[in-house]
Amino acid sequence: MGHHHHHIHPDKKDPGVRKRLKVAFLLNFSFTIIEFIGGVYTNSIAIISDAVHDLGDTIAIGSALWLEKVSERGRDEKYSYGYKRYSTLGAFITSAILLAGSIIIIYEAIPRILNPQPVMAVGMMVMAVLGIIFNGIAVLRLKGGNQSLNNKAVMLHLIEDVLGWIAVLVGSVVIKFTGWYWIDPILSLGVAAFILYNVIVNLKGIAAIFMQTTPRDFDGDKVLSALMAIQNVLEVHDIHTWSMDGNYHVMSVHLVVPVDLTSEQQVSVRSAANVVLREIGIDHPTIAIEFQGEVCDICK
């Protein structure tokens, strides 16, 4: 039984990705510090909530920066598939921090709904405007060039932050003219609920990767039909597909061919199978050739 590995070389990395991430990291980190100080000064739990959110984003950007470099490492004796799973581990750490922060926010906000405390509405307005500016600049800095997965994920976080600050701005204006201080903890709970929703979605995806489930975008029937359409392929079985990080997919598959197939014809079958699997997004296929009538021990 012959085995064949096909290696797809990644696209050339955009050297500007890391530079843009560094700018976004510095902007986000600086503003997170300003937020915590401003939240305490204005006595706004909504601003402190957003500060916790931005702290998570800062960690996410920092992880993305590190992972951009780590992802360039090739495979070695310890990591036979390379270091791609580190990005998933980073996502888990970030999600865990955001989950803990959200629970703390909810714990602090609920008593304030029952017993609203005065907040500095003008200070909240200033912080909201700064939040829109800082995060808006970070989003603009991340646009352009090749959009790495880390780059896209971080930019999505920052866009969410801009929307969150717009909500805080509107809330602070209402508080200024109505004195309804309960709006502040309500905004805080809204931020916490938004964070929790995204964290739960992320954790489900992370768990699926760690458990090596079949990627969501994988169409088994389509793959089977495409492989069966290859000349001299009599049967396809023992398909295993999983993902290293949600984007780099791995597959092993057994192709049954006639017993009298020549070496050249076997090579042709493998080459055709590699083309098919590459087109459907498999980055690392391992193809095993079996001959008709041969007993596949590992398939039992």
Contact 59, 94 (CB under 8 A): yes
Burial class from Cβ neighbours inside 10 Å (0-12, 13-18, 19+) for residue 27 reads: buried
**Type of residue found at 182:** W
Q: pLDDT tens for residues 171-223?
A: 889 988 998 888 888 888 887 888 788 888 888 888 888 898 888 888 888 99
Contact 110, 49 (CB under 8 A): no
Distance CA 13, CA 182 (A): 49
* CA distances from residue 18 to 89, 146, 151, 188 in whole angstroms, order as listed: 19, 11, 9, 32
Q: pLDDT tens for residues 101-153?
A: 788 888 878 888 888 888 888 888 988 898 888 888 877 876 765 455 455 66
Average pLDDT over residues 10-16: 46
Average pLDDT over residues 67-96: 75
What pLDDT, on a 0 to 100 scale, did the predictor assign at position 300?
Answer: 56
CA pseudo-torsion sign 87, 90, 95, 96: positive
What pLDDT, on a 0 to 100 scale, did the predictor assign at position 241?
Answer: 92
Distance CA 181, CA 109 (A): 12
DSSP summary character for residue 146: -
What pLDDT, on a 0 to 100 scale, did the predictor assign at position 268?
Answer: 93
* CA distances from residue 139 to 35, 41, 271, 273 in whole angstroms, order as listed: 18, 27, 43, 41
Q: Which two tokens stand for residue 84?
A: 């791609």
* CA distances from residue 48 to 20, 36, 153, 259, 272 in whole angstroms, order as listed: 26, 6, 23, 70, 57
What pLDDT, on a 0 to 100 scale, did the predictor assign at position 258?
Answer: 93
Strand order in the sheet with 2-5: 2-5, 282-291, 249-257, 235-243
List the alpha helices (DSSP H) in the chain: 16-42, 45-70, 85-114, 121-142, 149-178, 183-210, 220-228, 263-279
| Number of residues in the chain | 300
Structural domains in the chain, sorted by start? 16-210 (1.20.1510.10), 215-299 (3.30.70.1350)
Distance CA 41, CA 48 (A): 10
* pTM, to two decimals: 0.70
Distance CA 97, CA 100 (A): 5
| Residue 6 confidence class, pLDDT cut points 50, 70, 90 | very low
Q: Which two tokens stand for residue 279?
A: 């087109």
Q: How many CB atoms lie within 10 A of CB 64?
A: 27
What pLDDT, on a 0 to 100 scale, did the predictor assign at position 27?
Answer: 83
Residue 63 above 80 pLDDT? no
Greatest alpha-carbon pair distance for the chain in Å reads 86
What pLDDT, on a 0 to 100 scale, did the predictor assign at position 46?
Answer: 78
Distance CA 51, CA 34 (A): 9
